[in-house]
Structure formats: structure tokens, C-alpha cells
Structure 1
Amino acid sequence: MLSAITLFVVSLAPGVIASGSALALARIPLESILALIVLAFVPWRWVRRIVATVVAVVLVLATLTAALDRGFTATVGRPFDVVTGWPELVDGYGVVSDATGSIAAVAILVLVVVATAGLIVAVAASLLHLAAILGRGRRISLIGVSALTAGWVVLALVGAQLVPGEPIAASDSVAAAVAKTDQLGAAARSQAAFDQAAATDAYASQPASKLLTGLKGKDVIVAFIESYGQVAVQNTPFSSGVDAVLRTGNAQLAAKGYSERSAFLTSSTFGGISWLAHSTLQTGLWIDSQQKYDQVTSGIRFTLSDAFRKGGWQTISDVPSDTKTWPVGRSFYHYGSQLNATNVGYAGPKFSYARVPDQYTWSYFQQHELAKPHKPLMAEIDFVSSHTPWTPLPNLVPWASVGDGSIYDPQPAQGLPPSVVWQDPRHVQQVYGQSIEYSMSSLFSFLTTFDDPNLVLVVLGDHQPATEVSGTGANHDVPVSIISKDPAVMDRVSSWKWEPGMLPSAAAPVWRMDAFRDRFLAAYGG
């Protein structure tokens, strides 16, 4: 009985994991039936051991794959890809290490490896034990397995189900193998299309005299707001608070003479892996995997930051979540200077993942870059206060009091820790909405306080928040806005038909994010 339970549970585990329902155990796994038939009637012991081991490895790998698919779908909105997903799995381990500490992360990894090996041994032993029992009465066993096989075929033909989407006649491992094989073909087609798109670039040879002439003399900031997705602004329980902040911001900006135009971009990523979106916007290529990111950033693709640098701007990156040097920032994006958590003078507390509050990032950049005499600059700034787990959150303080950030010292203790908030999905959604409210309030407060007539901003989200917030099957669309006081700057994009204000409606234009670079360079080019 123990051997039978072990074998059938492991065989059915992928369906249980995928459906999230224990009712998926009430099925008949084809793989177990076929494996027992083979093992019961193979006369050679050494062959039985090989077959049992191979079957055990396949069943356990199918279970691990199902677990990875569920985890990836919950966090980045798609199943684990056996072709391109390995670097992202390494990134996931890095997130676990950051959250739990390196020792705990190593312990978790060792536990997974040991448990996997132990499960393979247990399944192989169960197969051999059951095969030995069946072999003692071959005739009765043959009748029994024949009847079971016939029953499986009948159930498969009629499509009987106890759990929606989970047929009683189960073949989870076979289905997993087919799905992952399909990924190989899909990855090959995607890579071919990507290589073709990357092979030519009309803007790479554009002379400096024709680049970004419509922005000459302007300071330009590309501001990525972490996890700022369409769900933050439309038809969700938490969007009303964000919408109220955006409407208030519209009025505040209008009073200061700003104009804004907004729409949506379809991001190349979901729930995380933000750098894929950043590189997609900058390169005009659809970079939806770490593999493509590594391929592009090891080459010489012409980026938005390259266009500004070639056109005479100084270029800056500001990534407050980084604590180490970013080689790609210099080797690929060619930023003239790079800011991160270690060189902006921040002496305040961390807010969970966010090492530096958004308001401090704006404050430092204003004091040390914009307020000083400088040649026109272009900067990409990645604002991280709205990064998962979205709690605890900072509060806005008077700009004159920001200082070195120590004014924020008491604020983390005033919020709830992730361990409390993440017990309830509705609470998670609530704090997510509050994080976007804070990030956008920081932006509006910065613009209205320092009131720079020479500033042009492209403000956008990098991706939708994870499934816990966005829901299953959510799209990849993120809000995008252009902000300026100069009517000539806004006139350049009038043909885009983007909507006035910071709150795009459901009818606003939607572009793929990789279309932005070329349209932006065309609109502001000579």
C-alpha cells in the first residue's frame, strides 16, 4: 500500500500542483500503469532496475517542472521555459538569498536536492516492489492491468473529469514532456525572429545632427516606476486610490504650466525581471528572456542613451536598488556616470526591498545633478519604492528635511512587515496600490516643488505586478506619460493621439514597448 500510494501520488503530483486541488489525486496515471506492465513482465532484474530508475527520474522531474511552472506563472506570468528560463531561475535564487540570507538560501537549495534524490529512490523502490508482487501472479496481474488500461482508455475517450481541466485518465508526465518539447520549437522561432530584427538598425548610422533635435537644450529623464501596471489605474479594488492621486497630480501640474500625454505600452515582462523592460524600451527589440538580454547587451545595439550621448547630452543611470557596480551600464548603455545605493549619500533605513525611498532619489538627483550648472543631461532613473513586497512604505516628508535620509529612520516600524501583509491577498493588493500612490505622489511633489521649465520626462511602468495582485491572465500593459512645460515638445507627439493628463483611459492607444524607441527618435529627430 505504501509503495502504491508513493507511486500514484508522485505520478499525479504535476496535476495537483497545476490545479491546486487535492481532487486531482482522484485520477488514473497512465505512466504508472505502463511502467508496472513493463516491470512485471521483464524477466531480467538489471533491466527492471534501469527501467524503474528512468521512470522514477521522469516522474520526479515532471513534478519539479510543474512546481517551477506554477512558481513562474505566479511571479512572472508564464511557465518555466526549459530553453531560456535557466538564467531567470538563477535570478530567482538570488531573490531568495536576498530575502532569507545566503546561509538559509543554501540550506533550502540543499534540502531541495536531497528531497529530489530521496524521492527518486522512493519511487524506484516502489516500482520494483509492486512489480515483484505483480510478477508472483502473472495471469491475474495481466487481467488486472488489462482491465485498468481499458478503463483508462474509455475515460480518456469520454474526457471524464472531477476537477475542471484535469481528466481522470491522467498522463501528466507525457503532457509535461510534450509541452516542454513544444517550447524548444517556439524558442527557436522566437530566436530567429529576434535575430532578424536585431540584424538591422536604421538609427545606428544616423548622424548626430539629426538625432533628438526637438529636445536640444532639454534635460530628459526616463523614469521607470517599479510594478506600475494597468491594474494600478483601471477597474481594480485598489485603483481608485491611485486614480485619485493621478487626478490630483493633473491639477497640480496644470497649475504649474505642465502638459502631459499618456497611453499604454505592452511590456516584454510581467511581475519582475525589470531589466528586460528597460532594455526593450532602450533598444527597440522585444527582449523577453534573460538569454536575449545577455545576447543583446554583449553586443553593440544602438540605445536611447546612445542617441542622447551621440547628440551631445551627458548620460546618467540611477538605480537605487543596486549595491554593486553595473558593468552593462557602461559597456552597453555607455552611461557617463552611474548612481546607486552606495554613492548617493543615503544614511536612512531600508524599506524591505527598497533601499532608497523614491523621494530621496528625486531629492538627491535635483541637488547634485539638476540644480548645479551642467550641460543637458539624459538620465534613466529606476524608482523602487513600489517594488514587491510593497511594505513597509515610506511617507513624504518636507523636501528641505530630506537631508541624508535619516529622517526616515522611524518610518519602517510604522508599517506592517511582509510576513503579516502577505497572509491575505486583499491586503497585498491594498499595499501595492498604496506603494504606487506614494511613488506617483513623490513625482508630482518633485515637479511642483522644483518647477523646472527645462525638464522633459518619460514616466512609465516596467511591468504589471505579480499574479497575486494582477490576477490570473492579466495583460502586460503599463501606463506611459510624457511631461513637459514646452508646447513645442508636446506638439512633436501630437500625431500619437495619446490622451491628455496622467491617467490613460481604457480607450488610450496601446503600443508594444519595443516600438517606443523608433517612434520617439522619429518624433524628436531632425
Structure 2
Amino acid sequence: MTTGSGVTRARLRTLFWFLILNTLLLVPALALPGSMPWLSVEALALWGLLCLGPRRWPGLGNVLTLVYSLLALLVLVDVLVRQSLGRGLNLYLEVGLLDAAWNLLDTNLGPVTAGLALALLIGLLAAVGRLFSMSLERLRQQVPESPLKPLLLAATLALTGVATPLIGSPTLALIAHQAELVTETHQAFAAFSEQLRDQPTTEEAPTPLPMLANRDVILGFLESYGVSTLTDSRYRSVVGQRLEAMSRELAAAGLTVATGRLQSPIQGGQSWLGHLSVLSGHWIHNQLTYETFLSSGLPTLIDDFHGTGHQTLAVMPAITQAWPEGRLLRYGQIYAHDDLDYQGPPFNWVTMPDQYTWHRFQQLREQAPGPLFAELALISSHAPWVPVLPVLEDWDAIGNGRAFERWRDAGEPPVSLWRDPDRVRTQYARAIDYTLAVASGFAARNVGQKTLMILLGDHQPAPLITGDNASRDVVVHVISGDPALVQPFLSGELPGFRLGTRPDLKTAGAPMSRFRPFLHRSFGRH
């Protein structure tokens, strides 16, 4: 009786540790499409391997633990990428984003908290690896002394051939999936490079826009201003009221406005890909295509406006380090953070509020001897969306930004806010409300008959805000004191545009890559 009880306990221990091992080896399925199996082929194979010869490879357990820890890291990174960029992990693309990811953490959380978060991540991976190692060791200790071990391995391997939804190979599938992504991305990269090399000679030169000659053209990208602000019930009340106020303010200033949609190539981050898709007329959907296009030397809207007689400048308040891409884009002048003379406080990731950026831009505009083409990256609606400042009624009091000093250290820390997703969403709506309010205020004060102002989102915010599988469309407002400059946007060439501050929510937007060709057709002839 005692012997039987001991055997039963041993079998239960074996079953327990096998279930732990099986659960751990199902984790890679979280980073794969489709349903999750309940039994892992890898767990069966490892159990068979332990039964066949647990003492023949003394270092095998350490090697397997290291490999598994790396796979667990990939799964964790996949979860983070999906939540921030709305797509799965692609190792071919993600390696180049490590610096940007750390910079975002460091700026929003501070170096100490960011370091603690990284340490927690390493600790979590170490704990998972330790549990995996323990499961192997416990199973090795439970291996029965039996001459039938090779038969057990054969049976295990036979089970690997059973093709049912209940049995799967998540580890091998994850490795194969990433290998397939690497191959596909490399092929897409090669095809895009070939496409750029084969450009017609007519596309290798700038295309002047004579119908915009002697007019200022302002291209303002509003961070995270996606169509979900109007289609999602959690945001449309706040943003809808702002658009109504915007409509009244622009009408009182004698301005005409039309609004539509464009599809962005990205979601949640990498704003520069959306910017270049608009400027270049090409679909720039990842870092490889971005770098390939920049190295091609092909023209963009910047060159088109150079050819039209405009001075070209970029106002980039979030650029705090060297920006060689700006030189490759051939801007006449670049005003990064240090060039904008801001003397006020930063607000987490936001280096300066949008109202100051617009105010400083107007000063630069008034100093320009001729017409301008300007690209502005407005960042007050960038995560973490805290604090959200009030709009200063007296724009002349903004000065060098010290007027914002009273809000230094305002709002709660982002790490506190982001524990509650519902409060994060509330702050997002408030941030969009602010960025639209100051953009509208600038337009009412400074846009006239010789100005075409284009305000558009760079991308939708992360899936935490929009939900999964949301449209990637962004909202576009076209504003001018001259109705003739707005009229081409109502021609139907870009679907979904209509008069007013609200887009047609039933019509999907054209890709951002169609915007530059549209300007060529609409404004490139006398």
C-alpha cells in the first residue's frame, strides 16, 4: 500500500511538472495568429528526450533554458509592439527602434523609473527562465528506470505528427514565422529599392506648383489625431464640440475650411513614416523604406516648393539630437528644439506646448522675405497626455515661453496615470482638444487669402486608445482665406473631403502617398 501510494505521488508530481513545462512552451503561441493549442509538441519531445538519456548531456538544460528565455523575450516584445504600434513583432524592423523605445521611456518616466522598468523586465524573464529550468530538472528526477525509454521517445515523436488543432508546435512556429517575416520584409525592401531606381525621369525632378506661387503653405502634423476621435463614442463628444467651436472661429475670421481623411501607413508611433509618405508621394510603411527613400535623393514636396520659389523650413520641437534626415530632405532651414528659443518648462515627453510652437513659427514667418513652405510637427497630443495645458487667450503674452512656467510639474506623473486605461483615454481626448484649439486659434489670427494651411494627423494613437483593428485613417483640415485654394480638395480626387470641420465618416481616406500627386494635379498647372 505504501509502495502504491509512493508511485501515485510520483506520477502526480510528474504530471504537475509536465503541465508546467507544457504551459511555458505554449507561451510562444501568444505571438502567432490563430488559436492556441492545448498541448505543445516541444513539451512532449523534451519529456521523451529526458526519458531517453537525461544524463548524457549535462549542459543541455542550461542551453534549453537560455533558448527559452530568448523566446519569452520575443513574446514579451511582441506584446509591447502590438500595444504601441498596432502590429506584430518583426525582428527585421525592430532592431533599429531600440534607441527610440528607450528614449520614449526615459523621457516619459525619467531615467530612474525607466531603469527600474527595465530591471523588472529582466527579473520577469529570469523568473520565467528559472521556472522552465526547474520543470526540466524535476521531470528528469521523475524519470522511471525502464528499458522502454526509447519506445517512450518513439511514441512522443509519433505524437508530433498528429495534425490537430489540439496539438501544436508554438516554439518552432514562432521561429518559422519570424524567419518568414525576415524573408518577406527583405523582398519588399528589395522591390521598393528597385521601384525607386526605375522611377521615370519625369519623377526624378521637382514638380513646381505655380498655382501656389507667392502663397504661404503650412503643413502642420498633429500628433495622434486619428479618425477614432470622431468614430469612437469615448472621444467624439469632446472632439466634436471642439470642431464645432473651430468651425465658428474660422468662419468669424473669414476663412474657408474643408475636411477629409487620409490613411496613414502606421499606428501608435514612428510619425516620421507618415510625414515622409505625405512629402514623397510613396508609401513609407517601415524604417527600411524610409531610409531607402532618403538615400535615393528623389524629390519631395520640399523640392517642389523650392522650385515654386518658396523658402522651405521645418519646425521640429521634439528633435533634441542631431537630425541628419532633415539635411537629406533638403530643407532650407531646420528649427529643432534648441533653435526655437523656448525658455519654459518641458511637460514630460512634450518639450514645449503647441501654442508656443505656433507662436514662434509666426515670428519666423514674419521675418521671411518671401513665401514659405513650412512643415510643423505639433506634439502636445503625444503620449503620455499629461498635463494638458489651458489655451492662453493672450498670444502676445507667450514671449519666450516663460508664461508656461506656472504649469511646471503640473499634473500627476505618467506612471500613476497609466495604471488606469480609462483615465488615459480621457486625457487623450483632452490633449486632442487642446491641440485643435491652438491650431484653430493660430489660423484665425494668422491665415489669410495668401495662405493655405493643411492640418492633419500623423497616425492613429495606440490600440489602447482606439481598440484593436481600428481604421488607420487620420483627419485632415484644409484652411484658407481664399476659397479657390480649398476648392480642389472638394473635387473628389481625394475621396471623403467636404466643407466644414468634419470629414465624411462613411468614406475611407486615400493613402497618404496620394497627397503629393494630388497637389501636382491640382496646383501644378497655370
The answer to whether residue 207 in structure 2 is matched with residue 241 in structure 1 is no
Residues 1:373 and 1:79: Cα distance change in structure 2 (over 3 Å): closer
Provide the secondary structure at the position in 2 that maps to 1:374: coil
What residue number does 2:28 align with?
14
Residues 1:235 and 1:104: Cα distance change in structure 2 (over 3 Å): closer
Where in structure 2 are the equivalents of 1:103-502 lying within 5 Å?
105=114, 123=132, 126-127=135-136, 130-131=139-140, 133-134=142-143, 136-139=145-148, 157=164, 159=165, 167=166, 169-199=167-197, 200=199, 204-206=203-205, 211-330=208-327, 332-367=328-363, 369-372=364-367, 374-397=369-392, 398-495=394-491, 496=493, 498-502=497-501
Residue 310 of structure 1: how far off its partner (Å):
2.4
Residues 1:99 and 1:437: Cα distance change in structure 2 (over 3 Å): closer
Q: Distance in 2 between matches of 1:186 and 1:242?
A: 40
Asked if the contact 1:218–1:456 (Cα under 8 Å) also holds between the matched residues in 2, the reply is yes
Provide the secondary structure at the position in 2 that maps to 1:136: coil
What residue number does 1:163 align with?
none
Residues 1:433 and 1:113: Cα distance change in structure 2 (over 3 Å): closer
Residue 97 of structure 1: how far off its partner (Å):
2.9
TM-score when normalising by structure 1: 0.87
Asked if the contact 1:49–1:128 (Cα under 8 Å) also holds between the matched residues in 2, the reply is no
Q: Distance in 1 between matches of 2:412 and 2:128?
A: 38
Provide the secondary structure at the position in 2 that maps to 1:84: helix
Residue 202 of structure 1: how far off its partner (Å):
5.5
Provide the secondary structure at the position in 1 that maps to 2:91: coil
Where in structure 2 are the equivalents of 1:89-100 lying within 5 Å?
89-100=98-109
Provide the secondary structure at the position in 2 that maps to 1:278: helix
Asked if the contact 2:31–2:174 (Cα under 8 Å) also holds between the matched residues in 1, the reply is no
Which runs of 5 or more residues in structure 1 are unaligned? 160-166
Provide the secondary structure at the position in 2 that maps to 1:410: helix
Asked if the contact 1:14–1:62 (Cα under 8 Å) also holds between the matched residues in 2, the reply is yes
Residues 1:500 and 1:193: Cα distance change in structure 2 (over 3 Å): farther
Q: Look up the equivalent residue of 2:81 and give its one-letter code.
A: F
Determine which of 80, 85, 97 is the counterpart of 2:94: 85
Provide the secondary structure at the position in 1 that maps to 2:218: strand
What residue number does 2:10 align with?
none
TM-score when normalising by structure 2: 0.87
Provide the secondary structure at the position in 2 that maps to 1:298: helix
Q: Distance in 2 between matches of 1:176 and 1:515?
A: 36
Residue 7 of structure 1: how far off its partner (Å):
3.1
1:481-500 per-residue CA deviation (whole Å, 9 max, x = no partner) reads 22111133223334235211
Q: Look up the equivalent residue of 1:242 and give its one-letter code.
A: V
1:418-446 per-residue CA deviation (whole Å, 9 max, x = no partner) reads 23322221111111011111001101111
Asked if the contact 1:62–1:172 (Cα under 8 Å) also holds between the matched residues in 2, the reply is no
What residue number does 1:523 align with?
522
Task: Let me know the Cα RMSD of the aligned residues.
Answer: 3.0
Residues 1:520 and 1:509: Cα distance change in structure 2 (over 3 Å): farther
Q: Distance in 2 between matches of 1:404 and 1:262?
A: 33
Residues 1:414 and 1:97: Cα distance change in structure 2 (over 3 Å): closer
Residues 1:98 and 1:203: Cα distance change in structure 2 (over 3 Å): farther
Q: Look up the equivalent residue of 1:510 and give its one-letter code.
A: G
Runs of 4+ in structure 1 over 6 Å off = 16-19, 142-154
Asked if the contact 1:499–1:508 (Cα under 8 Å) also holds between the matched residues in 2, the reply is no
Q: Distance in 1 between matches of 2:108 and 2:455?
A: 29
Provide the secondary structure at the position in 1 that maps to 2:367: coil
Asked if the contact 1:29–1:170 (Cα under 8 Å) also holds between the matched residues in 2, the reply is yes
Q: Distance in 1 between matches of 2:418 and 2:329?
A: 37
Q: Distance in 2 between matches of 1:269 and 1:325?
A: 24
1:376-401 per-residue CA deviation (whole Å, 9 max, x = no partner) reads 11110000000001111111111121
Q: Look up the equivalent residue of 2:514 and give its one-letter code.
A: A
Aligned residue pairs total 505
Greater mean alpha carbon deviation, residues 105-114 or residues 515-524 = 105-114
Asked if the contact 2:215–2:452 (Cα under 8 Å) also holds between the matched residues in 1, the reply is yes
1:303-334 per-residue CA deviation (whole Å, 9 max, x = no partner) reads 1111111222111101111222322111x111
Q: Distance in 2 between matches of 1:443 and 1:247?
A: 14
Asked if the contact 2:104–2:349 (Cα under 8 Å) also holds between the matched residues in 1, the reply is no
Q: Look up the equivalent residue of 2:179 and give its one-letter code.
A: T
Q: Distance in 1 between matches of 2:462 and 2:379?
A: 15
Identity between Structure 1 and Structure 2 (%): 28
Provide the secondary structure at the position in 2 that maps to 1:481: strand
Provide the secondary structure at the position in 1 that maps to 2:260: strand
Q: Distance in 1 between matches of 2:53 and 2:294?
A: 54
Residue 286 of structure 1: how far off its partner (Å):
1.5
What residue number does 1:37 align with?
48
Q: Look up the equivalent residue of 1:188 and give its one-letter code.
A: H
What residue number does 1:503 align with?
502
Q: Distance in 2 between matches of 1:27 and 1:509?
A: 40
Residues 1:62 and 1:414: Cα distance change in structure 2 (over 3 Å): closer
Q: Distance in 2 between matches of 1:121 and 1:420?
A: 31
Residues 1:53 and 1:292: Cα distance change in structure 2 (over 3 Å): farther
